[in-house]
Amino acid sequence: MAGPNGARRVVITGQGVVSAIGIGVDTFWANMRRGVCGIGPITNIPLQDLYITIAGEVKDFDPRERCPSKPFMLADRYSQFAGSAAIEAMKQAGYDGPVSDGHRAASIIGSGIGGLGTIENGYVDLFIHKKKATHPLTLLRSIGSSAAAHVSIEYGMKGPCFGTVSACSTAAHAIGLTFQMIRAGMVDIGIAGASEACVTFGSMRSWQAMRVLSPEGCWPFSKHRNGTVLAEGAGILVLEELEHALARGATPLAELVGFGMTSDAADMVNPSIEGPSVAMQIALDDARLAPGDIDYINAHGTATTVNDINETRAIRRVFGKDADKVSVSSTKSMHGHCLGAGGGVEAVACIKAISENFVPATIGFDEPGEECDLDYTPNEGRSREITYAMSNSFAFGGLNAALVFGPPPA
Which residue numbers are catalytic? 168, 300, 337
Cβ-based nearer residue to other proteins, 98 or 368: 368
Contacts of 274 (CB under 8 A, 6+ apart): 264
Q: How far is the CB of 111 from other proteins (least distance, A)?
A: 23
Please pick, from the candidates 27, 180, 263, 305, the single residue that binds other proteins as defined by CB under 8 A.
305
What secondary structure letter does DSSP report for 408?
P
Cα distances from 405 to residues 209, 272, 303, 376, 394, in angstroms, run: 36, 25, 24, 19, 18
Stretch that binds other proteins, among 77-85, 156-164, 263-271, 379-387 (CB under 8 A): 263-271
By CB under 8 A, residue 265 contacts other proteins:
no
CB atoms within 10 A of CB 50: 16
Please pick, from the candidates 47, 184, 265, 306, the single residue that binds other proteins as defined by CB under 8 A.
306
By CB under 8 A, residue 15 contacts other proteins:
no
Cα angle, residue 277 at apex, residues 272 and 283 outer, rounded to 5° = 140
Give the footprint of other proteins on residues 48-77 (CB under 8 A): 51
| Rounded distance between C-alpha atoms, residue 252 and residue 408, angstroms | 6
How many residues sit close enough to other proteins to count as binding (CB under 8 A)? 16
Q: How far is the CB of 50 from other proteins (least distance, A)?
A: 11
Q: How far is the CB of 251 from other proteins (least distance, A)?
A: 43
Say if CB 391 and CB 344 are below 8 A apart: no
Please pick, from the candidates 22, 144, 220, 227, the single residue that binds other proteins as defined by CB under 8 A.
227
Q: How far is the CB of 167 from other proteins (least distance, A)?
A: 14
By CB under 8 A, residue 270 contacts other proteins:
yes
Give the footprint of other proteins on residues 198-217 (CB under 8 A): 209-212, 214-215
Q: What is the DSSP string of 20-88?
A: TTEESHHHHHHHHHHT----EE--SS--TT-S--EEBPPPS--HHHHS-SHHHHTS-HHHHHHHHHHHH
Contacts of 385 (CB under 8 A, 6+ apart): 295, 357
| Rounded distance between C-alpha atoms, residue 315 and residue 271, angstroms | 14
Binding mask 161-200 for other proteins (x = CB under 8 A): ----------------------------------------
Stretch that binds other proteins, among 76-84, 298-306, 319-327, 348-356 (CB under 8 A): 298-306
Contacts with other proteins by CB under 8 A lie at 51, 209-212, 214-215, 225-227, 268-270, 304-306
